């Protein structure tokens, strides 16, 4: 086992890798500068990959990540950490178009053979039945219910992974890390490490410098608004997706996360904007007009790390011994992150991990 590892970035990619390395006995330090816009801190956390239109390697990782959650929760519980705000109340895919829901049912059936236990029961529902599960829904929307659909709060899960990692001997440092051809520095001071994992989300590419050509990711802003319905138990409400960028996720205390924008080309700008706030609320009320009287609590903003080819970038950096990268999860980080963090920890230990695609070698012609 690699004895000492520095992990840069405390989002889901870094926190998962930190925990997995600590479980395997590494002397691991997690470093984060606390820059605003961490995607994990804003994420709503829908765990329901099976109705997704994604295919190929991305879908395989998506589905495997969802199936990994029971193992992850068991690992955390072994350290005494049990709060993740993970719950499996099911998921609703809603539409007014019967043909669209027919297509969803066909897709789910085609994927059942590889995901039957995780997916659970699938049921077509008329609007009245769907509103029994999620009362604010619009009357014109019918649904497909997926029993295995789950949700998790990004901040709570991140904190659980970090707490569990520290209980196993890992350390956390609030500071700014940098890497170059000779190693890693923390707050400008060289740090000793056998391996370095750069898991800094949308910032990964710049942090890697010349080696950043191996991590072609760009930030995409997502604005997610949180609402509260006073006096209502929302803990068993399923998550709602309407086959678009927006969704509704209910948590345990009358709180709902509604979102999200997908704004490319804004750089590292973590602001809540008037246009973004308007879009989020209009989209939410179009699906669930019964939320019109809910209280607006806050809007969270995350800068998702989008990989140029759409597939997460996880593995060793070519030409840089002991350097690893984990980024490019896009909007699927809370589903994929724990599985990929565990896989990366095994790769750092020298295991052959087919789950991880090799990181592309630097392209000298690619612009930084």
Tell whether 110 is covered by a domain: yes
Q: How many CA atoms lie within 13 A of 1 on its CB side?
A: 14
Tell whether 184 is covered by a domain: no
Tell whether 278 is covered by a domain: yes
Tell whether 246 is covered by a domain: yes
Tell whether 137 is covered by a domain: yes
C-alpha angle 66-167-78 in degrees, rounded to nearest 5: 50
Tell whether 34 is covered by a domain: no
Residue 361 pLDDT exceeds 70: no
pLDDT tens, 229-274? 999 999 999 999 987 778 999 999 899 999 999 999 999 999 999 9
Confidence bin at 364 (pLDDT 50/70/90):
very low
Tell whether 236 is covered by a domain: yes
Helical ranges in 241-368 per DSSP H: 274-287, 333-348
Instruction: Give the H or E element holding residue 66.
Output: helix 56-67
Confidence bin at 210 (pLDDT 50/70/90):
low
What's the CATH code of the domain at 142?
A: 3.30.9.10
pLDDT tens, 154-200? 999 999 999 999 999 999 999 999 998 668 999 999 998 999 999 99
Q: Which DSSP letter does residue 68 get?
A: T
Number of domains in the chain: 1
Range of the domain at 237: 87-150+218-306
Tell whether 324 is covered by a domain: no
């Amino acid at each position: 086992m690699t004895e000492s590892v520095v992990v840069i970035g405390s989002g889901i990619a870094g926190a998962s890798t930190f925990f997995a390395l600590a479980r395997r006995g590494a002397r691991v330090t997690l470093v984060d500068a606390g820059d605003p816009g961490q995607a994990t801190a804003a994420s709503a956390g829908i765990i329901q990959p099976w109705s997704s239109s994604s295919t190929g390697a991305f879908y395989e990782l998506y589905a495997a990540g969802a199936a990994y959650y029971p193992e992850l929760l068991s690992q955390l519980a072994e350290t005494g950490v049990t709060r993740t705000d993970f719950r499996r109340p099911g998921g609703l895919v809603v539409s007014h178009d019967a043909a669209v829901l027919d297509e969803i049912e066909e897709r789910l059936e085609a994927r059942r053979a590889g995901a039957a236990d995780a997916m659970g029961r699938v049921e077509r529902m008329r609007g009245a039945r769907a509103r029994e599960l999620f009362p604010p829904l619009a009357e014109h929307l019918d649904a497909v219910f997926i029993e295995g659909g789950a949700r998790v709060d990004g901040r709570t899960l991140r904190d659980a992974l970090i707490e569990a990692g520290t209980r196993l001997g890992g350390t956390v440092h609030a500071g700014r890390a940098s890497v170059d051809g000779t190693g890693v520095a923390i707050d400008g001071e060289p740090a000793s490490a056998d391996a370095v994992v750069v898991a800094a989300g949308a910032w990964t590419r710049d942090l890697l410098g010349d080696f950043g050509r191996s991590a072609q990711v760009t930030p995409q802003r997502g604005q997610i608004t949180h609402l509260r319905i006073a006096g209502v138990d929302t803990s068993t409400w399923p998550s709602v997706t309407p086959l678009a960028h927006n969704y509704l996720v209910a948590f345990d205390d009358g709180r709902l996360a509604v979102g999200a924008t997908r704004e490319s080309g804004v750089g590292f700008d973590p602001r809540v904007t008037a246009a973004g706030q308007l879009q989020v609320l209009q989209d939410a009320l179009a699906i669930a007009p019964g939320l019109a009287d809910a209280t607006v609590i806050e809007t969270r903003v995350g800068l998702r790390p989008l990989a140029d080819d759409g597939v997460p970038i996880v593995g060793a950096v070519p030409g840089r011994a002991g350097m690893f990268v984990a980024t490019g999860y896009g909007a699927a980080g809370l589903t994929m992150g724990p599985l990929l963090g565990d896989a990366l920890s095994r790769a750092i230990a020298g295991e052959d991990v087919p789950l991880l695609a090799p990181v592309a070698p630097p392209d000298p012609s690619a612009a930084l």
